[in-house]
């Protein structure tokens, strides 16, 4: 769906390049995540891909076609969920969607009432957006990005600043879009979000890609090959995973009390990111 080769970009007047020879590809129907701290170049990459920023170097193809050769029809095939919802606050949720719906062919648009019900906003349909909570604004932003049924969707920090309940709902909606065959490109520095929903992730730091891989492979590769065992009496001990069934210390430990739980010592995606890049992630909400 997307093929990027040696993508380089510098903002006008900037001394340093924001993006430095990025090369990656996204398959159709994939959820692909750009992970990195604020200022790493995540949002800049997306802005180039949805044609907000021009003047880049390198090659970018979408659907097998060079990005610069796509005309206005391109915007009918993509959807964009911005990090900061930019709604018209004096208009109702319904009026906002009707306004933006005028940019697309009517036959592509999904029914507003059905979308509001699906996203648990039914009671807010005719309420002014200025009276929406942040979670409601984010969901309205999500609806606006998908209402015209795009094949390729960009989400910038889709769960930033949300409480766990609303964050979970957004992640479930993204996974449902994948089931429908959509291709999704998300940027985030929330590693748990990326771990839960991304098929593959790319670590980006200072405008450079450090690694591209499946989260499960990264965690397995960089995790400890050990298990942590906890007994009912509260005692805990770790053992090497190799030849665990023949490990006398492990077997003797199990005899001391009833087993409470046993867990592999798998690295978290954030731990892998720090190990691979040498960088720590900033709190959510910064510029990208």
What CA–CA distance (Å, rounded) separates 116 from 185? 24
Sheet containing 2-9: give its strands across: 19-26, 2-9, 57-62, 65-66
pLDDT tens column, 34-63: 998 888 999 999 999 999 999 999 999 999
Highest CATH level, class, for 2-219+270-277: alpha beta
What CA–CA distance (Å, rounded) separates 64 from 87? 33
Full DSSP string of 206-254: TTEEEEEE-HHHHHHHHS-SEEEEEETTS-EEEEESTTGGG-HHHHHHH
Over residues 84-103, mean pLDDT: 93
pLDDT tens column, 10-21: 999 899 999 999
30: confidence class by pLDDT, cuts 50, 70, 90 = very high
Tell me: pLDDT of 282 over 50.
Answer: yes
Q: What is the end-to-end Cα distance of the chain in Å, rounded?
A: 24
What share of the chain in percent tops pLDDT 70?
A: 96
Q: In this predicted structure, which of 21-25, 39-43, 252-256, 268-272 has the lowest mean pLDDT?
A: 268-272
Average of per-residue pLDDT values in the chain:
89
Q: Are residues 161 and 134 in contact, defined by beta-carbon separation less than 8 angstroms?
A: yes
Going from N- to C-terminal start, the domains of the chain cover 2-219+270-277, 224-265
Tell me: pLDDT of 138 over 60.
Answer: yes
Beta strand 2-9 pairing with 208-213: unpaired
What CA–CA distance (Å, rounded) separates 272 from 241? 20
Tell me: pLDDT of 277 over 90.
Answer: no
| Secondary structure (3-state) at 50 | coil
What CA–CA distance (Å, rounded) separates 98 from 104? 10
287: confidence class by pLDDT, cuts 50, 70, 90 = very low
What CA–CA distance (Å, rounded) separates 97 from 147? 8
Name the phi and psi angles at 233, rounded to 5. -80, 0
pLDDT at 286: 39
pLDDT at 285: 41
Give the highest mean pLDDT range of 198-202, 240-244, 246-250, 273-277. Answer: 198-202
Give burial (CB, 10 Å; 0-12/13-18/19+) of 157: buried
Over residues 96-117, mean pLDDT: 94
201: confidence class by pLDDT, cuts 50, 70, 90 = very high
288: confidence class by pLDDT, cuts 50, 70, 90 = very low
What CA–CA distance (Å, rounded) separates 206 from 250? 45
Distance of CA 148 to the CA centre of its chain: 21
Over residues 148-157, mean pLDDT: 95
Q: In this predicted structure, which of 124-128, 168-172, 176-180, 226-230 has the lowest mean pLDDT?
A: 226-230
Over residues 93-105, mean pLDDT: 94
124: confidence class by pLDDT, cuts 50, 70, 90 = very high
Count helices and strands (H / E) in the chain: 10, 13
């Amino acid at each position: 769906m997307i093929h990027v080769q040696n993508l380089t970009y510098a903002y006008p007047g900037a001394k340093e390049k924001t993006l430095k020879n990025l090369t990656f590809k996204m398959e159709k129907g994939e959820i692909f995540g750009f992970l990195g701290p604020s200022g790493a170049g995540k949002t800049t990459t997306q802005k180039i891909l949805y044609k907000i920023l021009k003047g880049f170097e390198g090659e970018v193809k979408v659907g097998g076609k060079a990005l610069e050769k796509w005309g206005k029809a391109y915007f009918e095939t993509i959807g964009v969920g911005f990090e900061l919802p930019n709604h018209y606050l004096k208009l109702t949720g319904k009026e906002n969607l009707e306004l933006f719906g005028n940019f697309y062919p009517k036959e592509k648009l999904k029914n507003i009432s059905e979308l509001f019900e699906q996203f648990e906003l039914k009671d807010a349909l005719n309420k002014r957006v200025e009276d929406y909570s942040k979670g409601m604004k984010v969901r309205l932003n999500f609806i606006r990005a998908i209402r015209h049924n795009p094949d390729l969707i960009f989400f910038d920090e889709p769960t930033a600043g949300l409480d766990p309940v609303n964050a979970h709902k957004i992640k479930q909606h993204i996974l449902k879009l994948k089931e429908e065959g959509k291709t999704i490109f998300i940027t985030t520095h929330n590693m748990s979000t990326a771990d839960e929903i991304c098929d593959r992730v790319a670590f980006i730091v200072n405008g450079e890609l450090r690694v591209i891989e499946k989260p499960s492979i990264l965690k397995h590769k960089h995790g400890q090959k050990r298990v942590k065992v906890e007994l009912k009496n509260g005692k805990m001990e770790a053992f090497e995973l190799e030849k665990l069934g023949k490990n006398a210390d492990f077997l003797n430990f199990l005899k001391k009390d009833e087993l409470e739980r046993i867990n592999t010592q798998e690295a978290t995606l954030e731990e892998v990111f720090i190990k691979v890049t040498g960088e720590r992630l900033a709190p959510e909400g910064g510029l990208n």
